[in-house]
Structure 1
Amino acid sequence: MRNLIVSTIFLLSLASCKKSGRDGGSVITPPAPPEAKEYTFEASPMWADEFDYTGAPDPNSWTYDTGDHGWGNNELQNYTTDAKNVQVKDGMLTITAIKEPSGSKAYSSTRLVSRGKKDFTYGRLEVKAKLPSGRGTWPAIWMLPTARTYGDWPKSGEIDVMEHVGYDPNVVHFSIHSEAYNHVINTQKTATRQIPTAMTDFHLYRVDWTPAYIRGFFDGVQVFSFANDGKGYASWPFDKAFHVLINIAVGGNWGGVQGVDDTVFPAAMLVDYVRLYKLIP
């Protein structure tokens, strides 16, 4: 009798997740949005790089994307691991874009990534940085999925914690991309704010990533919010492990809209720290 009761409950639970289609078959009902609640985060970082050492970025935390193939945006730089493009010194990380022949390109730079080292699902990420200046620079602090579970970009998602294009000085962007929401189909979800000293002072760029929402903050002030609508991966692919990227691109579909001013190079982005805080269940 106990087995019969358990079986009956199981079948009823399955039935509650389905409804009849017009052809008499079963149609899976999309999952409901997660409970609307405020999430909190642990007070101490679960991972941090304070850059309190000298030399190459910590290999226990960072690796590199390298190459000169344009990175899907017709970018003009070759990404390298060379010390002239990336180094840690005087308590900070410096990524430098340089005007020089590099690979098949006329510029070199670095794209530093935590992929395979510090991947995470949900959390609060904080990065304190000072941005490069000059037309043609395109620095970014962002996140990509470590595995493309739902398919190639934009299906598996992207979170841009900070983007800045040099021809639009001190205007900083926070964005998310998914299959349903991305700039290619003009449905992007973006917040844009002016930070008058973004290129001369350090500022704090932050994302709070939870099962229910993604929120963006500049210097502790919320500028962006995107809710999980419960309609599946097309709008919310943000339930898998992501990793952090920090880079300076040169030119490209956005950064190069008004050309590149070669007199601004070398152009550097300085990062004081990267801190990741665990989501409290």
Structure 2
Amino acid sequence: MWVLFLLPLVWAIPKPTITPLTPSGLRWEIPDADYELVAIHFSINQDLTGVQAGRYNVDVRTKQGSSWVYVQDGVTLHPGDTVHYWLYALSRGRPSQDLNQVWTYSGPNTQPPVTHAPVTHAPVTHAPVTNKPAHNPKTEAVTHKTPSSGHNIDSVSFNAVQKDCDDSPVCTSYPCLIFDDEFNTFDLKTWEHEITAGGGGNWEFQYYTNNRTNSYVKNGVLYLKPTLTSDQYGLNFLEHGKLELWGAGPYDTCTGNQFYGCERQGAPGRLVNPIQSAKIRSSRGFNFKYGKVEIEAKLPTGDWLWPAIWMMPTYDSYGGWPASGEIDIMESRGNLHYHDSKGQSQGVNRMGSTIHFGPDWTHDNWGRGHAEKDSKHGTFGDSFHKYGLEWDENNMKFFLDDELILTVDPGNDGFWKYGGYDKTHFTNPWAGASKMAPFDQEFFIILNVAVGGQNFFPDSFTNTGYAKPWKDADSTAFWNARNLWYPTWKPNQNNGEDAAMQINYVKVWKLKP
């Protein structure tokens, strides 16, 4: 059962009142149903099929009283003219659409307002083709097509009908959009903040908190921005303060006690985590198995930043990490001038996709499911790019801007043999399950920006300008070198948002029954 939709849903958009104006113009009025955005697409005397763009296409961004009102100037209707249109509305990250609608103007007697007769059809939800509001800072046009998979996401409907006594959508055709967050608001019913200083086993230098300094929505974009802990608590706090994250309620309680994640005591040479950042997950609001995931994001630029878009299992059905799997859609490093021993760039102009699986944490065979890709123009911090996953009962495919960069197919014998574990003494945790086990269970989405720590910034890599200032998990050495790395975050420019991961949208489709 999808648990995203926690409130009563309106699946059909209320019918609009369409009014021709004198001497010209066309007025639209749509009753509000707790919408964040309403879009109108229409043509005069010209068919519109599905989500085809109309002669007129507009996003209505603000309500007038209890309705969404829009007037299209310069339109003159004559008796017998037909308005072909379709509507799109967004409520709490959930899209609704009414397609293939028709209204015919019968002449002056229909003025003032006349409401058209409805066209009978099933309520639908699917991806909009409208642009986000004009103030959206997205910097390049993108399509939603994946030629390598055969799915044209723009040319098909994504239908869903409401299930009796259940808020879960039931798809009636495929691909079927089952989740769409355009970040016009910050939906905290879907996205839960992780609150911990544990660093995920990598002893990273940030702690994660629920704070609008570090996670916020602006102009239709979600920002996950790291800042200095000393900005919040002062310099003295790092060596002498106590960071307590235990909390007192369901949304401010520490989410990870491992690795001293809920409490840290500062001392000389052993600092409280010097960076404050954000990590959000959809585990409370949206979990799914199989489908197409597409996330458009602009990555952070700045030394030792570690942005990630990834997925973890909802239930750990096969045991602790990595026996139940991990899916990393995108990981990158914020450094502008960072190279491996072969001189290959390993900074913000390179990203990677990876899966993790194995019988225990010492036998994670991530190398059997890993690929890296360089940006074709500039860096991934210069503009928005699409990071995608197509995942079904046969394989996983990873995409960058619709280009296939990695396919993982374990074969009929599954991941046990694919990882070479059949030659070990371990017991197979996936015995009797499908070939895709452990990736045949529900997962949820995670978005975060980490900083430094062990493992992800190898000592063998070279950072041009100055050497990596710490070894292992020495946060004190990292902090003492802040005059070197902090300027690369550009904290005094653009509200420090060059160091933020910016997410334009998150969409998930179910591709087939």
Scaled by the length of structure 1, the TM-score of the pair is 0.79
**What does residue 248 of structure 1 align with?**
449
Q: The residue matched to 1:217 in structure 2 has which SS?
A: strand
Q: The residue matched to 1:60 in structure 2 has which SS?
A: coil
**What does residue 507 of structure 2 align with?**
275
Q: The residue matched to 1:191 in structure 2 has which SS?
A: strand
Note if 1:128 corresponds to 2:296. Answer: yes
Task: Judge which range, 101-110 or 137-146, deviates more.
Answer: 101-110
Q: 1:91 to 1:183 in 2, by over 3 A?
A: farther
Task: Judge which range, 94-103 or 197-206, deviates more.
Answer: 94-103
**What does residue 486 of structure 2 align with?**
262
**What does residue 84 of structure 1 align with?**
213
Note if 1:98 corresponds to 2:227. Answer: yes
Q: 1:278 to 1:250 in 2, by over 3 A?
A: same
For the residues of structure 2 that align with 1:201 and 1:108, how far apart are their CA atoms? 24
* Aligned-residue offset at 1:185: 5.3
**What does residue 398 of structure 2 align with?**
216
**What does residue 11 of structure 1 align with?**
none
Q: How many residues align?
A: 241
For the residues of structure 2 that align with 1:87 and 1:253, how far apart are their CA atoms? 28
Task: Judge which range, 225-234 or 122-131, deviates more.
Answer: 225-234
For the residues of structure 2 that align with 1:197 and 1:253, how far apart are their CA atoms? 24
What letter corresponds to residue 164 of structure 1 in structure 2?
S
**More contact order relative to length (CA 8 Å, sep ≥ 6):** 1
Between the aligned residues of both structures, percent identity stands at 32
User: Aligned runs of 1:41-80 on 2, under 5 Å?
Assistant: 42-53=174-185, 57-80=186-209
* Aligned-residue offset at 1:96: 0.2
Structure 1, unaligned runs of 5 or more: 1-37
* Aligned-residue offset at 1:169: 2.5
User: In 1, are the aligned partners of 2:299 and 2:381 still within 8 Å (CA)?
Assistant: yes
User: In 1, are the aligned partners of 2:292 and 2:508 still within 8 Å (CA)?
Assistant: yes
Q: The residue matched to 1:252 in structure 2 has which SS?
A: coil
Q: The residue matched to 1:262 in structure 2 has which SS?
A: helix
Q: The residue matched to 1:280 in structure 2 has which SS?
A: coil
**What does residue 118 of structure 2 align with?**
none
Q: 1:225 to 1:182 in 2, by over 3 A?
A: farther
Note if 1:204 corresponds to 2:348. Answer: no
* Aligned-residue offset at 1:166: 2.2
For the residues of structure 2 that align with 1:75 and 1:39, how far apart are their CA atoms? 40
Q: 1:223 to 1:244 in 2, by over 3 A?
A: same
For the residues of structure 1 that align with 2:404 and 2:191, how far apart are their CA atoms? 28
**What does residue 26 of structure 1 align with?**
none
Q: The residue matched to 1:71 in structure 2 has which SS?
A: helix
User: Aligned runs of 1:179-198 on 2, under 5 Å?
Assistant: 179=358, 187-188=366-367, 189-195=369-375, 196-198=378-380
Q: The residue matched to 1:179 in structure 2 has which SS?
A: coil
User: In 1, are the aligned partners of 2:320 and 2:360 still within 8 Å (CA)?
Assistant: no
Q: The residue matched to 2:200 in structure 1 has which SS?
A: coil
Task: Judge which range, 89-98 or 162-171, deviates more.
Answer: 162-171
User: In 1, are the aligned partners of 2:357 and 2:365 still within 8 Å (CA)?
Assistant: no
User: In 1, are the aligned partners of 2:299 and 2:348 still within 8 Å (CA)?
Assistant: no
| TM-superposition CA deviations, 1:35-54 (whole Å, max 9, x none) | xxx7868345211100123x
Q: 1:187 to 1:278 in 2, by over 3 A?
A: closer
What letter corresponds to residue 68 of structure 1 in structure 2?
A
What letter corresponds to residue 219 of structure 2 in structure 1?
D
For the residues of structure 2 that align with 1:107 and 1:123, how far apart are their CA atoms? 35
* Aligned-residue offset at 1:77: 0.4
Q: The residue matched to 1:244 in structure 2 has which SS?
A: strand
For the residues of structure 2 that align with 1:187 and 1:271, how far apart are their CA atoms? 26
* Aligned-residue offset at 1:165: 1.4
Q: The residue matched to 1:116 in structure 2 has which SS?
A: coil
Report which of the two has the higher share of strand: 1
Q: The residue matched to 2:275 in structure 1 has which SS?
A: strand
Task: Judge which range, 84-93 or 94-103, deviates more.
Answer: 94-103
For the residues of structure 1 that align with 2:505 and 2:333, how far apart are their CA atoms? 22
**What does residue 173 of structure 1 align with?**
352
Q: The residue matched to 2:309 in structure 1 has which SS?
A: strand
For the residues of structure 1 that align with 2:349 and 2:455, how far apart are their CA atoms? 15
For the residues of structure 1 that align with 2:445 and 2:364, how far apart are their CA atoms? 25
* Aligned-residue offset at 1:74: 1.1
For the residues of structure 1 that align with 2:456 and 2:357, how far apart are their CA atoms? 21
Structure 2, unaligned runs of 5 or more: 1-148, 154-173, 233-242, 244-271, 336-346, 420-436, 459-467, 470-477, 479-484, 490-495
Scaled by the length of structure 2, the TM-score of the pair is 0.44
